[in-house]
Amino acid sequence: MLAKDRARTLRRWADLMIDHVDDLALLLTSEQGKPLAESRAEIVYAASFLEWFGEEAKRVYGDTIPSPWPDKRIVVTKEPVGVTGGITPWNFPMAIPAWKTLPALLAGNAVILKPASDTPLLALKLANLLHEAGLPGGVLNVITGPGVVLGDALVSHKGVNMISLTGSTEVGRHVAEICGRDLRRCTLELGGKNAVIVLEDADLDLAVESVSWGAFGTTGQRCTATSRVIVHKAIQHAFTDRLVAAAEKLQIGNGLDEKVDMGPLVNRGRVHAVHQYTQVGQQEGAKLLTGGTPLNNGDYSQGAFYKPTVFTDVSPDMRIAREEVFGPFVSILPVASYEEAVQVANATEYGLSTSIFTNDLRTTFRAMREIESGLIYFNAPTTGAEIHMPFGGVKASGNGHRELGTHAVEEFSETKSIFVSYPPKHK
């Protein structure tokens, strides 16, 4: 398609998503569990990607470079990679399929999308709406089923030129191994053990509100979720008391009930996995301040509910300070200085998102340099990606690629360097 036609299709797609926001949100909550307000926000968020990429679709530029040699020009063009495979998780069943599919389409590729088997419906809806918006048949294809069968088939298929995965670091290593063998390009967006650093001069109310949302929003099921709080000892107790109070105030229940703040985990297996970390924390000698139990009584018996859980006196070598829990679970690590906070923040194999609460200019600029993390926030939660910003992590949180924004289009493109010589005619 011509760039202007691609742009028009993507913009129509965005409008269709907004027209259907309530139906889509209802489906999302019914399938995934997050509260309706979060589901609506996710649809609007996904539609904003479509809108942004719809505008961007007209701006696929190349370069023309003068050569050091006379009578020669160099032209650099961007071309599609070919067929790309997207594998997406169940925590954002609409937003992540959108953010993987869009740059791939924009760069001119065909896409085969494999959504998580717990949440296939939104990806199917996304594809329906895109076809309604005018995408030709066969350009976006959705396949549904278990990852162990379909994921491996997709990742190792000789007709697939590139794989883009959002998932756990364990699955990422497996996908990278297969792609490595076949020299297939793969972009990986993996786990995190994201820290919020709360320093002595922090605005405590803001820090508590941000940690509560970062740790318990989406029931803690985000790669960017806050799972560690590294707090200066001088304000440790004031901060901890307020965080525990905020956690205990959250209304937990069926996401279809508009009064609910935190929905269930995605399935019962996840309740078991989170609860194991509570047991690990207790065995390791950390102090459980609140939560630490599944909710099973009454209406809760129908679902996969877990209480927001806060541990304190956690030390950096404990498993609950190092391993991704992916649930409403946060570990507090007290420190005595900014330097120690940075050392503790960097002491994990992950490096996705870190947030620092301070109003000190020197600390701010030092932290920008010293924190090992693909995303750094100041005075804000560890969550909240923005469409125009490169998104991704360092260390075991990824393999060096970045999603979203114009960077993402580059990831889904091949670069062709063309040398054109036009010497004078030989006699």
Choose which of 92, 305, 350, 377 interacts with ligand UN1 (CB under 6 A).
92
Total residues contacting ligand UN1 (rule CB under 6 A)?
12
Distance CA 312, CA 282 (A): 11
Helix (H) or strand (E) holding 414: strand 413-421
Site map 338..377 versus ligand UN1, x via CB under 6 A:
----------------------------------------
Instruction: Kindly list the distances between the CA atom of residue 180 and the CA atoms of 324, 392, 403, in Å, as whole numbers in the listed order.
Output: 25, 20, 20
Only one of the segments 88-96, 243-251, 282-290, 338-346 lies at the binding site for ligand UN1 (rule: CB under 6 A); that segment is: 88-96
Task: Decide if 225 contacts 384 (C-beta within 8 A).
Answer: no
Q: Which is nearer to ligand UN1, 140 or 223 (CB)?
A: 223
Task: Decide if 49 contacts 99 (C-beta within 8 A).
Answer: yes
Look at residue 63 and give its three-state secondary structure.
strand
Site map 11..30 versus ligand UN1, x via CB under 6 A:
--------------------
Rg (CA), the chain: 23
Q: Which is nearer to ligand UN1, 96 or 318 (CB)?
A: 96
Give me the phi and psi of 143, to 5 degrees please.
-120, 135
Question: Angle 375-379-385 (CA atoms, 0-180°, nearest 5)?
Answer: 35
The strand pairing partners of 188, in sequence order, are 165
> Is 179 noted as a catalytic residue in this protein?
no
The CB-of-119 to ligand UN1 minimum distance in angstroms stands at: 12
Q: Which is nearer to ligand UN1, 289 or 404 (CB)?
A: 404
The strand pairing partners of 306, in sequence order, are 294
392: alpha, beta or left? (left if phi > 0; alpha if psi -120 to 50): left
Distance CA 330, CA 208 (A): 12
Instruction: Kindly list the distances between the CA atom of residue 135 and the CA atoms of 53, 106, 140, 141, 310, in Å, as whole numbers in the listed order.
Output: 15, 12, 8, 11, 47
Q: Which is nearer to ligand UN1, 316 or 398 (CB)?
A: 398
Q: Which is nearer to ligand UN1, 223 or 409 (CB)?
A: 223
Choose which of 91, 109, 373, 413 interacts with ligand UN1 (CB under 6 A).
91
Choose which of 14, 96, 155, 202 interacts with ligand UN1 (CB under 6 A).
96
Chain centroid, CA 86 distance in Å: 14
The CB-of-159 to ligand UN1 minimum distance in angstroms stands at: 27
The CB-of-61 to ligand UN1 minimum distance in angstroms stands at: 28
User: What is the 3 state secondary structure string of 280-313?
Assistant: HHHHHCCEEEECCCEECCHHHHHCCEECCEEEEC
The CB-of-192 to ligand UN1 minimum distance in angstroms stands at: 8
Instruction: Kindly name the residue from 38, 51, 179, 223 that is annotated as catalytic.
Output: 223
> Is 223 noted as a catalytic residue in this protein?
yes
Task: Decide if 179 contacts 185 (C-beta within 8 A).
Answer: yes
Contact set for ligand UN1, span 372-401 (CB under 6 A): 383-385
**Helices and strands, number each (H, E), in the chain:** 14, 17
The CB-of-183 to ligand UN1 minimum distance in angstroms stands at: 26
Pairing verdict, β 329-335 and 72-80 = unpaired
Instruction: Kindly name the residue from 38, 189, 324, 411 that is annotated as catalytic.
Output: 189
Token pair 């539609």 is found at 47
Q: Which is nearer to ligand UN1, 74 or 394 (CB)?
A: 394
Contacts of 421 (CB under 8 A, 6+ apart): 69, 71, 72
CA dihedral 83, 177, 402, 150 (to 10 degrees): 50
Contact set for ligand UN1, span 217-256 (CB under 6 A): 222-224
Site map 283..312 versus ligand UN1, x via CB under 6 A:
------------------------------
Q: Which is nearer to ligand UN1, 96 or 235 (CB)?
A: 96
Q: Which is nearer to ligand UN1, 166 or 254 (CB)?
A: 166
The CB-of-161 to ligand UN1 minimum distance in angstroms stands at: 22
Site map 175..204 versus ligand UN1, x via CB under 6 A:
--------------x---------------
Tokens of 59: 């701006």
Q: Is 101 in the site for ligand UN1 (CB under 6 A)?
A: no
Cβ neighbours of 253 (radius 10 Å): 19
Q: Among all residues, which ones are annotated catalytic?
A: 189, 223
Residues contributing to the site for ligand UN1 (CB under 6 A): 89, 91-92, 96, 166, 189, 222-224, 383-385
